[in-house]
Chains A and B, each alone.
Chain A
Amino acid sequence: MESTIISSSNFNAYFGTNHVVKNVNIEIPKNSVIAVMGPSGCGKTTFLRCINRMHELTPGATSDGKMMLHDDDVYEMHPIFVRLKIGMVFQRPNPFPNLSIYDNVIAGYKLNGLRLSKSEKDRIVEQSLTRSALWNEVKDSLHKKGTFLSGGQQQRLCIARAIAMEPEVLLLDEPTSALDPISTASIEELLYELKSTYTLVIVTHNMQQAARVSNKTAFFYLGELVEYNVTKELFTNPKDSRTQNYITGRFS
């Protein structure tokens, strides 16, 4: 029996009066990769952003329903604590342009005013960059600006920045959509490695990617969670006709 880390029940999200996530019930097991896929505008990114309460930063955005992290309601916790426990990687790599690679990795600590000794910092930087498979490439240029890196390296730097805070869950919003195939492959490999330590939720509109990296896949369509199952099962034997239409390419 796998233990659940995040579960939502009757979860809805809105932009103003626009109902974008409708009544979603989902249970996310620990130490697994969950792919969230669906056509553009299906609410998959919005749902992801609701998990760590990034959604509410958009003016006019609201939500209701329950979103549990273990036994705590995320919406009754302070958003800062939620985001420290649930990290996020964005669609476009967004390293802080004024900071070096080193400072980018520990940016979360600096931002939150957590003081670290030099040796602690060094350890966190090395560990995070090693886990994000970037250490060997940047260990000699740690004090250069992070924006000098290639797109794929920048994205791995953003992953390092997120896991440096040691979150329990890592949300990834189409992390490879702005990257070339080789960088994409290295990120996917990385996700596979990270699964042992973290729970990953990855939004993608790329079905092959969902099939390659995830243990379970959720298919969203027009704001509804249409189907949620073990990835292999969902792709080979979809229960819902809408899922079938999507994976056979009848709409995208």
Chain B
Amino acid sequence: MQELTSQLVQKPSRVIVQDRKTKYTGRNIRWEGVFKRSLVITALSVLVLVVGIFITLVVQSIPSIKALGIGYLTGKTWDPVSDIYGAWPFLLGTLLTSFLALIISIPFSFAIAVYLGEYRPTGWLSGFLKNVVELIAAVPSVIYGFWALVTLVPLVRKLESAIGVAPYGVGIFSASIVLAIMIIPYAASLGRELIQMVPSSLKEGAYSLGGTQYEVIRDVVMPYTKSGMFAGVLLSLGRALGETMAVTMVIGNTSLIPDSIFSPGNTMASVIANEFTEADRAVYLSALIELGLVLFLVTVVINMIGKSIIKRFTHE
């Protein structure tokens, strides 16, 4: 009798639990679908955005492409007043400042990466250095531009008069130095992380054969990290190509083709920022947008070249 009662009492509660289980499981399965779908949609929206930007650039550039054709890229004169639009000075200015900045910054990034990654991974000095290097990337570019205008440009002017070239102060060289400082953290941080990822077993193997620290860095650490290091340099290059504010403040903003690294010049990004508000005619505006399209394509191409080189490195 007692057993029967207890069964009667228990049975409904078990049914309730079963019911709840079904209910919750059903809800979980539905939520799974919703979560997955919203995840995919959100992620893909970035793709749509990038494609949209590209399409906008192309569409808005069409008037200029129609009016100017391929001569736009090779044209050596940019004179909006006479409706002449040649982008070559800015294309050259962009590539010149970016590569010069890269060359200046590489020794610094490399030194920081090796020092922090290999010589002194811990300690207060390295912690401080690491934070400061990361801070370089966080400082707004207008501040670099301002510093360069006040401090760097007068120094470059002195240098220029000392070596006997026209002492503008502003120009490709000043812009490259500012850019170089701004892009140091990209290659340095990536390089440091890569160096710390080198398996200690390999380094110990080299030390056990009588290698010095320099020899271990040269023969073990560098070969192991070279493709990643290259990726870091490309990342820096991508940043340098697009940097606008700091460059525009010190490059001199002329539409003339630079005849040396000390001449004033201009970059694509800087021209767009400077002249966008003045573009009063449809072709002028469109020509500026086409400049944006070229900049977009140059960055994409450089990225693709970089990726293919990294692929080749890793396949070796």
Contacts and interface: CB of A to CB of B under 8 A. Distances in A.
Interface of A: 52, 54, 57, 59, 80-81, 83-84, 87-88, 90, 92, 94-98, 107-108, 110-113, 158, 161-162, 165
18 contacts: A54-B208, A59-B122, A80-B210, A83-B208, A84-B209, A90-B201, A90-B204, A90-B205, A90-B208, A92-B201, A94-B201, A94-B204, A96-B223, A107-B206, A110-B219, A111-B206, A111-B219, A112-B209
B54 interface: no
Interface of B: 122, 199, 201-202, 204-212, 215-216, 219-220, 223-224
A213 B196 CA distance: 38
Contacts of B224: 97-98
A132 B202 CA distance: 20
A232 B216 CA distance: 42
A96 B220 contact: yes
Interface of B, helix, strand, loop or mixed by DSSP: helix
Nearest to A165: B209
A95 B223 CA distance: 14
Given A110-B219, A112-B215, A83 B205 contact: no
Given A59-B122, A112-B215, A87 B208 contact: yes
Nearest to A158: B205
Contacts of A59: 122
Contact of B204 (A57, A80, A108): A57
B10 to A, nearest CB: 51
Nearest to B213: A57
Contacts of A96: 202, 205-206, 219-220, 223
A222 B219 CA distance: 38
A54 B207 contact: yes
A108 B209 contact: yes
A231 B211 CA distance: 35
A111 B204 contact: no
Contact of B211 (A92, A98, A111): A111
